Every structure is written in C-alpha cells, then in structure tokens.
C-alpha cells in the first residue's frame, strides 16, 4: 500500500503540467496503489489582499467527469480519488463550506499560502535576521490553529511552507522554536479530528526535508496525533509518488503504524 494524497493536474491547477491521466500513470510507475488528486482551490483568498492567487475554481462538471473516466480506466490497478487543496478556507468560511460540502470530494487539504494582507510566501524575500520574520511565523501558526477549528478541511497541508522558499534564499529556522504554539495547534487537531500531511515536495528542493520537518511530526504524535497522510505535492507526472516511500519510513521511525485514506471526509486507517 502506497498512497500519494497530494497532487495537482492540468488544466485545473494553473501551475500543473500534466493531465489527471498522466499523473495517475506516473504514480503507477512509482508503485503507488492509491492516489488522491487535490487541485488548488483558492476561492477563499480572492481579494485585492492576495494579488497573486489563482482564479477561483468553478469547473466542477469537467473535473468530476474527468475523475470518473480516470478512476474507471485505472480500476483494479490504482485507486484514484478526488480531493482538493483549499487555500485558507477559514478566510471565507461560507465559500470554504460550499467547497467542503461538494459531493465530488472525498478529501480536503487546508493550506495557508498567504497571511492576511500579505503575498504568497513563494513571492517573499526573507530578512537576514530571522527575528524580523518571527511574528509572521507566529501569525502563520495561529492561522493553522483557526483553520484546524474551522471544520473546513480534513488535514493541514505542508506546515512550514515558507521554509521551502527561505531555503532557496539560503535562509531558514527551526520550527521547533515555536513548540508552544505547535502544541496548541496539535491539541486542537486531536480535539477536532483533523490530521496533518507529510509533504515530500521539498525533499528534492533546496530544503531537502519533509514539511513539516520530522521533529514537528514527532511532536504531533507526542500530542496524540494519529491522523496522517503523505503527499508528493507533484505538479508533473514524473514527480507523482515521489518521496512517499521515504515518508512512510519516517513515519515508521517515529512510531506511526497507520496512514489514512479518505472517503467522504472520513479517515480510513491503513497499516504501513
Ligand atoms: Zn500548497
Ligand atoms: Zn499542492
């Protein structure tokens, strides 16, 4: 069992290159048995505050029929489910709820890509002195706490997202310096039945590590967290499934015995 629960496809994710079928083929080549296609839905970050965001997603009919076709084509070889990566659903809760309730979706990742009144972390240039950036990380984690309480996502996506882009600028920090806030976040996750994902996309980036970093995943477990998914966050077929095996090795080394698949927003625990 190898499940890649975070990937994008063209044309639904503007930054993805390959079609859903090509992504499925790529995942199969890498030995995946399950995937969940999770395209960007930035419907809740549409305002002049967020000038960089992708347009709101509305193409449900095309997405659903393409998913059905791909699911049938791979039946018996690869379990293909449909989810979404929703940007900060709690910024616009009515819209977040509308997406979460869509019958087409089995699974929703909640990801904060931008703070309120700020650009996507992808576009920032990071200060030399981390102290100048510390308040932004505090605010970021506070947004994850709010998101975990919102009921608008099943798992929290790539906690520590900015670390990937800081590394590209030769900067970084240890997320464990925010241990107190992380404990509050994970207590909220456990309380609300919200999981986290281990995102493997930055393993092959300058950062060269999982997001969240392994110590944070360990802390999640220490706080009683059990719901976890692993995702490549791939945007090209050649990257589908990348890092999932390594993610399972990390989880086993931290004492996790299960990962989750999702059906109708309900986690199904599968032994790893
Ligand atoms: Zn993301
Ligand atoms: Zn993504």
Give me the mean pLDDT over the 44-56 stretch: 90
Give me the mean pLDDT over the 27-44 stretch: 98
Rounded CA separation 266/118 (Å):
33
Give me the mean pLDDT over the 93-101 stretch: 98
Give residue 37 CA to ligand 1 midpoint distance, Å.
13
Q: Across the chain, what does the average pLDDT equal?
A: 97
pLDDT category, 82, cuts 50, 70, 90?
very high
Pick the CATH number of 3-271 from 3.40.50.300, 3.20.20.140, 3.40.30.10, 3.40.50.150: 3.20.20.140
Give residue 12 CA to ligand 2 midpoint distance, Å.
12
Give me the mean pLDDT over the 164-180 stretch: 98
Cβ(201)–Cβ(211) below 8 Å: yes
High-pLDDT (> 70) share of the chain, %: 100
Angle, alpha carbons 257-205-212 (nearest 5°): 40
Give me the mean pLDDT over the 88-117 stretch: 97
Give residue 157 CA to ligand 1 midpoint distance, Å.
7
Give residue 240 CA to ligand 2 midpoint distance, Å.
12
Instruction: Tell the burial category of 21 from Cβ atoms under 10 Å away from its Cβ (0-12, 13-18, 19+).
Output: middle
Give the pLDDT of residue 257.
98
Cβ(64)–Cβ(70) below 8 Å: no
Q: What is the reported pTM?
A: 0.98
Give the pLDDT of residue 50.
85
Q: Where are the alpha helices (DSSP H) in the chain?
A: 20-29, 60-73, 93-100, 134-149, 161-168, 179-192, 214-222, 244-253
Give residue 85 CA to ligand 1 midpoint distance, Å.
7
Give residue 111 CA to ligand 1 midpoint distance, Å.
6
Return the ligand number nearest the Cα of 158: 1
Give residue 159 CA to ligand 1 midpoint distance, Å.
10
Give residue 150 CA to ligand 2 midpoint distance, Å.
20
Domain boundaries, the chain: 3-271
- For residue 191, the number of C-alpha atoms closer than 13 Å in the C-beta half-sphere is 11
Give me the mean pLDDT over the 37-45 stretch: 97
What six digits make up the tokens of 182? 């992380």
């Amino acid at each position: 069992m190898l499940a890649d629960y975070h990937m994008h496809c063209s044309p639904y994710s503007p930054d993805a290159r390959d079609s859903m079928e090509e992504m499925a083929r790529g995942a199969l080549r890498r030995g995946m048995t399950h995937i969940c296609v999770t395209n960007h839905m930035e419907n809740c970050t549409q305002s002049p505050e967020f000038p960089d965001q992708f347009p709101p997603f509305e193409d449900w009919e095309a997405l659903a029929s393409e998913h059905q076709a791909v699911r049938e084509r791979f039946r018996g070889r690869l379990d293909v489910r449909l989810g979404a990566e929703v940007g900060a659903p709690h910024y616009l809760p009515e819209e977040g709820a509308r997406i979460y309730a869509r019958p087409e979706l089995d699974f929703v990742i909640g990801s904060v890509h931008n703070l309120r009144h700020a650009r996507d972390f992808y576009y920032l240039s990071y200060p030399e002195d981390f102290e100048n950036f510390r308040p932004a990380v505090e605010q970021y984690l506070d947004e994850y706490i709010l998101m975990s309480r919102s009921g608008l996502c099943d798992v929290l996506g790539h906690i520590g997202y900015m670390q990937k882009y800081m590394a590209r600028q030769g900067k970084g920090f240890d997320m464990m310096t925010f241990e107190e806030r992380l404990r509050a976040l994970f207590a909220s996750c456990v309380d609300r039945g919200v999981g986290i994902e281990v995102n493997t996309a930055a393993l092959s980036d300058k950062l060269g590590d999982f997001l969240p970093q392994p110590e944070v995943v360990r802390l999640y477990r220490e706080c009683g967290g059990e719901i976890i998914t692993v995702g490549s966050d791939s945007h090209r077929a050649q990257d589908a499934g990348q890092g999932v095996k390594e993610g399972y090795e990390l989880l086993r080394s931290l004492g996790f015995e299960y990962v989750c698949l999702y059906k109708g927003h309900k986690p199904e625990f599968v032994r790893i």
